[in-house]
Amino acid sequence: MPTRRRRPPARAGRQAPQARPGDVRAGGPPEVPADFSTDLSTDLPVEVDVRVHGLAPGGDAVGRQQGGAHDGRATFIALAAPGDEVRARLVREQARVAWAELVAVRTASPLRVAPPCPYFGVCGGCQWQHVALQAQRTAKREIVARAVGAQVDELVAPSASGYGYRERARLIVEGGAVGFRARRSHQVVDVERCLLLGDEAGAALTAVRGQATTLPAGTEVDLQVGAEGVHVAVRSRAPIADERASSVCAAWMTTTSARIAGTIVAAGAVAPRTCGAQDVDVAEPGSSPLRIPAGGFAQVGRAANAALVAAVMQAVGDVPGDVLELYAGSGNFTRHLLSRAGRVVAHDADGRAVDRGRRNAPAASWCLGRVPSGPSAAADTVLVDPPREGLDGENFAAAAGAGRRLVYVSCDPQTLGRDATRLRAAGFALRHVVALDLMPQTFHVEVVATFERP
Ligand SMILES: C[S@@+](CC[C@H](N)C(=O)[O-])C[C@H]1O[C@@H](n2cnc3c(N)ncnc32)[C@H](O)[C@@H]1O
């Protein structure tokens, strides 16, 4: 007998829905209202049949309910695959869309593969190990095209196997477990081995696990692989006694099972304690150094970064003129812009990143604080690489000042789509779109979009 539960009544007078992960747009399934203010106040039947046809931006699969009162309703289901026919339990619903948890695969899609990782489905790190790599890439291409309203000209995929590409990881310590957050939960999955990690990061995970369990709950342990080995950064709100911090670092620095180049422990209110190297060189092969500590922003791995840098430099072109680089981080792209540009003005909001940027790309004019504007920042080409939220007001205004070309690096197709609409309204045309699958087995996709003034 199906269980039923009652939802609270809908609230009136809310604004139009905003785009959010999980939306599906024209060209695929129907437009989905994303604001839960329209949730139905009716009871939820527990289980529905769904024919799955796609993968959505936030990682869920999407399909249509088959039969029942909501025949044809778009439904999002984690861990289903395009082409599956599944039984699923509703967890949330609106008039035209619902969310459900997979109960059983009735007919398996030919695109289904056996996920090789024993933690898959429990661990929150991967969403798509059960989908063939080529189908993941097709989905990413379609997601980007729908978001920006233009075709994807090229899909770049530097990892052939789709595994072993990660050179950085953030581990969380909780109740004797060391690993990653569980899917849709704050609990920590104790992970002994992660198939996304390359050899060096994987060896470091094994090497740090034992000592990490002795650290306070909630401690984060970042691993960053570079040329000299692995940098390990510990961050804890709770204090860690000096003797404990020293013995943890000593154990890591002397291990023979991984190449640990240095450690930093930042705990409580005391000054961080360091041992060995304070950062590592994460530059892609053949490039000038890019020194980053564990926990600082870097791309997922050196092969991935090489592909991204190549796509960005192709978009920037051989003769970019004067360049303004916004969200420049520690100088990853700046290093390369310097060899082609008349001059490079680079900005980031993070003072530590700007300090690193000055060391990694000293010939650029680095600035912190207010986004450069006015004649001193006038640029033929602007390069932006914002976080997931996309361009904020000040950076948008500076980016829209590009005299000729604006190259937009995005890790979120939905906010890129929003900003593309604003840039078109500001007089830019979208000329070229490259999607990069830098993180296979996950929904993440990087985009390099080139806008020009007509
Ligand atoms: C995706 S990272 C890009 C870093 C760099 N381009 C790279 O490839 O390593 C985004 C950067 O934006 C910076 N950032 C975040 N919000 C910002 C803001 N409002 N204004 C300027 N920079 C910001 C962060 O400090 C971070 O360095």
Using CA positions, which residue lies closest to atom 18 of ligand 1? 349
CATH number of the CATH domain containing 178? 2.40.50.1070
Q: Based on the domain organization, do 228 and 347 belong to the same domain?
A: no
Read off the tokens for 100. 């459900």
Using CA positions, which residue lies closest to atom 27 of ligand 1? 329
Q: Based on the domain organization, do 7 and 88 belong to the same domain?
A: yes
Is 355 a member of any domain?
Answer: yes
Q: Based on the domain organization, do 267 and 334 belong to the same domain?
A: no
Q: What is the 3-state secondary structure (H, E, C) of 116-156?
A: CCCCECCECCCCCCCECHHHHHHHHHHHHHHHHCCCCCEEE
Task: Report the number of distinct structural domains present in the chain.
Answer: 3
Per-residue pLDDT, 25: 26
Is 357 a member of any domain?
Answer: yes
Residue 411 alpha carbon, nearest atom of ligand 1: 1
Which of 348, 370, 410 maximizes ligand 1 atoms within 8 Å of its Cβ, making it the mutation to test the pocket?
348
How many C-beta neighbours within 10 Å does residue 343 have? 14
Q: Based on the domain organization, do 391 and 439 belong to the same domain?
A: yes
pLDDT over threshold 80, residue 11: no
Q: Residue for token digits 């909630």?
A: 218
Residues 260-284 have a mean pLDDT of 96
Is 122 a member of any domain?
Answer: no
Q: Based on the domain organization, do 60 and 155 belong to the same domain?
A: no
Query: From residue 306, how far is each of 59, 82, 194, 384, 452 by CA, in Å?
Result: 25, 31, 23, 18, 24
Q: Based on the domain organization, do 306 and 275 belong to the same domain?
A: no
Q: Based on the domain organization, do 74 and 178 belong to the same domain?
A: no
The DSSP H or E segment spanning 43 is: none
pLDDT over threshold 90, residue 156: yes
pLDDT over threshold 60, residue 7: no
pLDDT over threshold 90, residue 14: no
Q: Based on the domain organization, do 89 and 200 belong to the same domain?
A: no
Read off the tokens for 266. 């930042």
Where does the pLDDT of residue 413 fall: very low under 50, low under 70, confident under 90, or very high at 90 and above? very high
- 3-state class of 209 per DSSP? helix
pLDDT over threshold 60, residue 33: no
Burial of 376 (0-12, 13-18, 19+ CB in 10 A): exposed
Q: What is the distance in A from the centroid of ligand 1 to the CA of 329?
A: 5
Is 126 a member of any domain?
Answer: no
Q: Based on the domain organization, do 255 and 340 belong to the same domain?
A: no
pLDDT over threshold 90, residue 125: yes
pTM of the model as a whole:
0.90
Q: Based on the domain organization, do 276 and 312 belong to the same domain?
A: no
Where does the pLDDT of residue 21 fall: very low under 50, low under 70, confident under 90, or very high at 90 and above? very low
Per-residue pLDDT, 35: 33
Pocket lining for ligand 1, CB < 6 angstroms = 297, 327-329, 332-333, 348-350, 353, 385-387, 392, 395
CATH number of the CATH domain containing 409? 3.40.50.150
Whole-angstrom Cα distance, residue 138 to residue 224? 30
Using CA positions, which residue lies closest to atom 20 of ligand 1? 349
Where does the pLDDT of residue 320 fall: very low under 50, low under 70, confident under 90, or very high at 90 and above? very high
Give 336-365 pLDDT, tens digit per residue.
999 999 899 999 999 999 999 999 999 999
Q: What is the distance in A from the centroid of ligand 1 to the CA of 92?
A: 35
pLDDT above 70 covers a percentage of the chain that reads 90
Residues 387-395 have a mean pLDDT of 97
Whole-angstrom Cα distance, residue 142 to residue 19? 17
Q: Based on the domain organization, do 311 and 448 belong to the same domain?
A: yes
- Domain span at 58: 1-111
Is 45 a member of any domain?
Answer: yes
Give 38-88 pLDDT, tens digit per residue.
344 445 658 999 999 999 999 999 999 999 989 999 999 999 999 999 999
Which of 167, 312, 327 maximizes ligand 1 atoms within 8 Å of its Cβ, making it the mutation to test the pocket?
327
pLDDT over threshold 70, residue 192: yes
Whole-angstrom Cα distance, residue 121 to residue 115? 9
Read off the tokens for 449. 């979009």
Is 293 a member of any domain?
Answer: no
Is 76 a member of any domain?
Answer: yes
